[in-house]
């Protein structure tokens, strides 16, 4: 049985990757940050969905900024594969927390590569780094972005990810390690964090339809992204580590849409016009915006045989449908709560 070590296991991709690895028979180990309130809802959900595999998920406390503890964990676990998904992953927030973003996203990767280098002296181990299309910066004239496109990072998030990208390449070249970068374009799901634009929109469409919300505040509606489905993208992560040699791959759909398009499609699904409910709030604008991302996944298709399976429309619909069910339950709960609240029973 293969053993995988996943940082960022509690996040969106952590859920989908762990599910995939369990289906493939892996033992999955992850680190979670100590917080005052528990933050494991996605993994708890996975354990409920796959009860027969729940005992193959093991979690312990850890943080990628803690190099000493990381080295201990990696040397004790002796994983066959390491997936570094941990990051302060919100681009807008990275402008407010540049130092922490650098520590988690760049130094965190370096810490893990050092741990891997030590373990590799004892047994072969493979490493995946969660690199990102944000590294390209989305400047005019750069579309579609491929493995050969020059990086032009436009946020503390992206500059840290560029450093991590180069650390990974350098460890591959300097020490002959099996270390890969997946340069993933935006990928979404019903488990996407609620402060990323897609999920913010699908939740709002569903809640407005159910009368639980009146409007939605957004920033730049004209930015364009290449949005895919997270479940498809974690397969590419795994495929990179099964390939006969380590390399870097763009993972994308090859199609881009504006935030405005996403808004329209999501509200259409619930029979409303999104433009009637949207307010523009400058607090959601970024000091430097990434205007247009659209990836060329040709290399991943040709070398790994990877292709996305879910279209833009299917993605929007599956997210909206999920959030409609959540909003319906929220409304019912509120209604029942109202009936049962003290003083109203009679």
In terms of phi and psi (left: phi > 0; alpha: psi -120 to 50; beta: otherwise), the region of 141 is: left
Cα atoms in the Cβ-side hemisphere of radius 13 Å centred on 98: 6
Radius of gyration over alpha carbons of the chain, in Å?
A: 21
Chain-centroid distance of CA 177 in Å reads: 25
Write each residue from 84 to 123 as x if it is in contact with ligand NAP (CB under 6 A), else as -, in one continuous string.
Answer: -xxxxx--------------x---x---------------
132, 168, 181, 202: which one binds ligand NAP (CB under 6 A): 132
Residue 219 in the binding site for ligand G4F (CB under 6 A): yes
C-beta nearest to ligand NAP: residue: 11
Residue 165 and residue 286 in contact, taking contact as beta carbons nearer than 8 Å: no
Q: Which of 72, 150, 175, 193 lies at the binding interface for ligand NAP (CB under 6 A)? A: 193
Residues between 16 and 45 that touch ligand G4F (CB under 6 A):
none
Active site residue 157: yes
Output the CA–CA distances (angstroms, integers) from residue 33 to 20, 102, 121, 167, 284, in the order listed: 22, 17, 28, 23, 27
CB 281 → ligand NAP: shortest distance, Å? 22
Instruction: Give the CA distances from residue 13 to residues 16, 108, 119, 168, 232, in Å, rounded to whole numbers and listed in that order.
Output: 5, 17, 25, 20, 10
Q: Smallest distance, Å, CB 194 to ligand G4F?
A: 10
Do residues 208 and 323 touch, judged by C-beta distance below 8 A? no
CB-based burial of residue 174 (10 Å sphere; 0-12 exposed, 13-18 middle, 19+ buried)?
A: exposed
Asked if residue 218 binds ligand G4F (CB under 6 A), the reply is: yes
Interface with ligand NAP includes 295 (CB under 6 A)?
no
Contact between 157 and 88 under an 8 Å Cβ cutoff? The reply is: yes
Closest contact distance (angstroms) between CB of 334 and ligand NAP is: 27
- List 10, 18, 53, 89, residue binding ligand G4F (CB under 6 A): 89
Decide: 145 and 295 in contact? Cβ < 8 Å.
yes
C-beta of 321: minimal distance to ligand G4F in Å? 20
Active site residue 333: no
In angstroms, give the least distance from the CB of 217 to ligand NAP. Answer: 21
Question: Cα–Cα distance between 3 and 25 in angstroms, integer?
Answer: 9
Stretch that binds ligand NAP, among 9-17, 21-29, 170-178, 266-274 (CB under 6 A): 9-17
DSSP 107: I
When asked if residue 196 is in the footprint of ligand G4F (CB under 6 A), the reply is: yes
Least distance in Å: CB of 210 to ligand NAP? Answer: 25
Contact flag: residue 129 with ligand G4F (CB under 6 A): no
Specify the residue, 132 or 145, whose C-beta has the smaller distance to ligand NAP: 132
What is the sign, positive or negative, of the torsion defined by CA atoms of 15, 16, 22, 27?
A: negative
Residue 119: both structure tokens together: 């373990």
Q: Which of ligand NAP, ligand G4F, none does residue 165 bind to, with CB < 5 to 8 Å depending on kind?
A: none
Q: 132 an active-site residue?
A: yes
Three-class SS state of 244: coil
- 87 versus 304: smaller Cβ distance to ligand G4F: 87
Distance between CA atoms of 97 and 209, rounded to whole angstroms?
35
Q: Does 259 bind ligand NAP (CB under 6 A)?
A: no
Nearer to ligand NAP (CB atom), residue 9 or residue 106: 9
Binding region for ligand NAP (CB under 6 A): 7-14, 31, 33, 39, 63-65, 85-89, 104, 108, 130, 132, 184, 186-187, 193
* Catalytic annotation, residues: 132, 134, 157
């Amino acid at each position: 049985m293969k053993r995988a070590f996943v940082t960022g296991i509690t996040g969106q991709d952590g859920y989908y990757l762990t599910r995939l690895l369990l289906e493939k028979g892996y033992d999955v180990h992850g680190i979670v940050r100590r917080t005052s309130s528990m933050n494991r809802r996605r993994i708890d959900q996975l354990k409920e969905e796959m009860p027969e595999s729940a005992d193959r998920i093991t979690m312990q406390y850890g943080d990628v900024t803690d190099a000493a503890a990381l080295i201990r964990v990696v040397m004790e676990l002796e994983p066959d594969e390491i997936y570094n998904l941990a990051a302060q992953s919100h681009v807008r927030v990275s402008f407010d927390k540049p130092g922490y973003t650098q520590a988690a996203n760049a130094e965190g990767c370096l810490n893990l590569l050092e741990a891997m280098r030590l373990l590799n002296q004892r047994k072969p181990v493979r490493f995946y780094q969660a690199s990102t299309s944000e590294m390209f910066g989305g400047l005019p004239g750069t579309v579609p972005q491929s493995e050969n496109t020059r990086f032009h990072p436009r946020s503390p998030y992206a500059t840290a990810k560029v450093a991590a990208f180069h650390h990974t390449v350098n460890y591959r070249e300097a020490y002959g390690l099996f270390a890969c970068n997946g340069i993933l374009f935006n990928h979404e799901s019903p488990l996407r964090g609620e402060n990323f634009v897609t999920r913010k929109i699908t939740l709002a469409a569903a809640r407005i339809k159910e009368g639980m919300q009146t409007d939605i505040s957004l920033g730049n509606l004209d930015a364009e992204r290449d949005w895919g489905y997270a479940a498809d993208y974690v397969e590419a992560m795994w495929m990179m580590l099964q390939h006969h040699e380590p390399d870097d791959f763009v993972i994308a759909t090859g199609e881009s849409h504006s935030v405005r398009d996403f808004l329209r499609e999501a509200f259409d699904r619930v029979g409303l016009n999104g433009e009637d409910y949207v307010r523009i709030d400058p607090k959601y604008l970024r000091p430097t915006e990434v205007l247009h991302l659209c990836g060329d996944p040709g290399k991943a298709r040709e070398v790994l045989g990877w292709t996305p399976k879910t279209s833009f429309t299917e993605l929007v619909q599956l997210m909206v449908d999920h959030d409609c069910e959540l909003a319906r339950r929220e409304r019912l709960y509120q209604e029942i709560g109202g009936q049962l609240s003290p003083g109203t029973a009679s």
